[in-house]
Amino acid sequence: MFTSMVTIGVYGTSEVSFFETLRKANVDTFCDIRLHRGMRGSKFAYVNSAYLQSKLTEMGIRYLHIKELAPAKKIREMQKEDDQKTGAVKQTRTSLGKVFIEEYTKSNLAHFDAQTFLDMLAKDAKTVAFFCVERAPAACHRSLVTAHLGKIFSIPSTDITP
C-alpha cells in the first residue's frame, strides 16, 4: 500500500519547476482530479492531458484520472459566487468557502469508495500525488481529498510547492 500523499497545483509554476518538484518528491503515481483536463492558453499547456501524460510516462510516473473526485460544475459555481462576494481571485485564492466544502463533502467524498481507489493503484505505489490547478492547497478540493483519505488510511499528506 502507498505510504505517502502529496498535493500539487499548477498556478505559480513553470513546466520545469512543476516536473522537477514531482521528481524530488519521488512521486510514482499522479492522480489528476480535475473534471476537464485542459488549461486555456499556452502558459500552462504542460498540464493539458496528452502532454502531461506523455511527460509523466517519460518520468516513470503512473497517471490516473479520477473524475469522481472532481467537483461538479454546480459546486464550482458556488465557489465562484463566494469568490465574487469576498473579492477573491481563483489564481490567488487562499481558502475554499464553507458552502463549497459542505457540498463537495456531501456530493463527492461521502460516496467515494476508498477501497476501489486503493485497488486502482499499482501494488508498488509509494508516493501518490493529487493534482488540481490552485496554488494553495487550502484553496483546492485536493486538500479535502487528502484529508479524507488520510483519515481512512492513516497516511499524512503534504503539499509540494514548485
Check which CATH number belongs to the domain holding 70 and give it: 3.90.190
The C-alpha atoms of residue 37 and residue 109 are separated, in whole angstroms, by 20
pLDDT at 92 over 90: no
Residues β-bridged to residue 127? 4
Counting the structural domains of the chain, the total is 1
Ramachandran angles phi, psi of 42, nearest 5°: -90, -15
- 146's enclosing H/E stretch is helix 141-153
**Cβ pair 4, 121 in contact under 8 A:** no
Phi and psi at residue 93, to the nearest 5°: -60, 145
CA atoms within 13 A on the CB side of 53: 8
Q: Are strands 29-32 and 4-8 parallel, antiparallel or unpaired?
A: unpaired
Q: What is the pLDDT of residue 45?
A: 96
Which structural domain, as residue segments, surrounds residue 89? 4-159
Task: Give per-residue pLDDT as tens, 35-79.
Answer: 999 898 899 999 999 999 999 999 999 999 999 999 999 999 999
Q: How sure is the predictor about 90, in pLDDT bands with cuts at 50, 70 and 90?
A: confident
117 in Cβ contact with 152 (< 8 Å): no
Q: Is the dihedral of CA 9, 13, 18, 24 positive or negative?
A: negative
Task: Please tell me the distance from the alpha carbon of residue 35 to that of residue 19, in angstroms, as a whole number.
Answer: 21
Name the residue type at position 121: L
What pLDDT, on the 0 to 100 scale, is given for residue 107? 96
